[in-house]
Amino acid sequence: MKMVTNWPNAIAHIDCDAFYASCEAARRPDLKGRPICVLSSQNAIVVAKSYDAKALGITTGMPVWEAKKLAPQAEFLAADFRYYGQLSHKLFSILRRYSPDIEVYSIDEGFIDMNGIRTLWRKPFRQLADEIRQSVEREVGITVSVGISVTRILAKMASESNKPNGSTVIPGKRIERFLADIAVSDIPGIGRNRAALLHKFNIHTALQFIHIEESLMQRLLGRHGLILKQELSGIAVMGLEVNPPLPKSIARTASMGEVTKSRQLVTAHLSYHTMRLVSELVAKQLFTRRIHVFLTLSTFEKRGADIRLDLPSSSLRRIAAAVKEGFITLFRVDESYRGCGIVATHISRAASATPDLFGLSKEDSRQTELMLTVNRINKRYGDCTVSLATIQTVKEKKRRVRFCYPLFIAS
């Protein structure tokens, strides 16, 4: 195999630790150290949990009643994507200080092209990784794990290997030592089925994986396997998506792993897909105007419904309402389903959205921001210290707008 030098290429992967739960703890210090569960749109299932909640056996996708039985002392909170989006944007603005070339991979994960960064900052990668972690913790109030290596996948595995709040730097010459301790099932893109197949060929570690002969790899995992082998060997084949094109659609769909008539189960799956879709829209600062909801019947027949939103939006409330509307028109009590999904189309950039005439979208974000500020101030100085109108004036001044106008808040 070709020998890789230490830094033929340099990529950093930044991954927030238990992001949604950490966001909640960041605005409510009283939650620190308590198990936190963040719930889906209809409060049906756990979509995220803190490390302490995980230690109690709570898993993502678990129905709320089950989680409450396991950990009645935990805090159960409704997801608030506008707020998570705000913290996510703060995170990425910190990353942009280090390099203009960053990829927003998800709401809480990003890559930085580190080529040339070391000489620019005159610091070793280890120190840069620690500084990124410390800046995010100081300015956003949450912890992240950082991995720096020569390819995208190695950087991701590096950050994963030392969670939470860790820095891991893997230069080319240390790749093999790093891979020797990693199970094939922990390679991104190797799911349960692929891992089982590899085990049959006596391949258990990531190090054994990169030594699979190309012809065998082609047979076992096809082109995907060959790309993984190269990336893991330190040969960068996957670049960063620094300026991704506007997607035509964003889909979240999955088989439910069983055939069911349960309305509750299908709803739970749909609400989970909704959360993941909204988190992607918020992370990438995109809006959708139309939601396609579909159910896959036990016969594999697909049935779908299109719901048009009042305006381009990434609001969880609006999108969840659209999904619910679609679901109601599709679901029949006498049928069995094996899968479901949602597809957002008519995608636009949030930044280029024209202000809507009736202020519908503003009302969404204003309500959230206002409530956050009210909570913060009232927490510090006692309840009802300030009225909503006062806060808005304070906020307006801070932003140094030239014109102040009276605000009417419908509640």
Coil, strand or helix at 259: strand
Options 10-18, 256-264, 302-310, 319-327: segment touching Mg ion (CB under 5 A): 10-18
Coil, strand or helix at 170: coil
HSE toward the beta carbon, residue 348, CA cutoff 13 A: 11
Q: Which is nearer to Mg ion, 36 or 212 (CB)?
A: 36
Letters for 224-253 (x = contact with Mg ion by CB under 5 A, - = none) are ------------------------------
Shortest reach from residue 81's CB to Mg ion, in Å: 15
Segments in 161-249 forming alpha helices (H): 175-180, 192-200, 206-210, 214-233
The active-site residue, picked from 24, 109, 231, 280, is 109
CB 231 within 8 A of CB 152: yes
Beta bridge partners of 337: 260, 297
Q: Which is nearer to Mg ion, 110 or 225 (CB)?
A: 110
Shortest reach from residue 34's CB to Mg ion, in Å: 20
Cis peptide upstream of residue 406 (ω within 30 degrees of 0): no
DSSP secondary structure code for residue 141 in this structure: S
CA distance 75 to 58: 12
Residue 20 CA to its chain's centroid (Å): 9
Q: Which is nearer to Mg ion, 16 or 47 (CB)?
A: 16
Shortest reach from residue 65's CB to Mg ion, in Å: 26
Q: Which is nearer to Mg ion, 49 or 252 (CB)?
A: 49
Shortest reach from residue 20's CB to Mg ion, in Å: 9
Q: Which is nearer to Mg ion, 8 or 164 (CB)?
A: 164
CA distance 2 to 220: 22
Residue 103 is a catalytic residue: no
Name the residue with tokens 């509750």: 264
The one-letter code for the residue type at 92 is F
Compute how many residues bind Mg ion; rule: CB under 5 A.
3
For the segment 91-120, give every residue that binds Mg ion (CB under 5 A): 108
For the segment 11-50, give every residue that binds Mg ion (CB under 5 A): 15-16
Shortest reach from residue 159's CB to Mg ion, in Å: 9
Q: Which residues are catalytic?
A: 109
Binding site for Mg ion (CB under 5 A): 15-16, 108
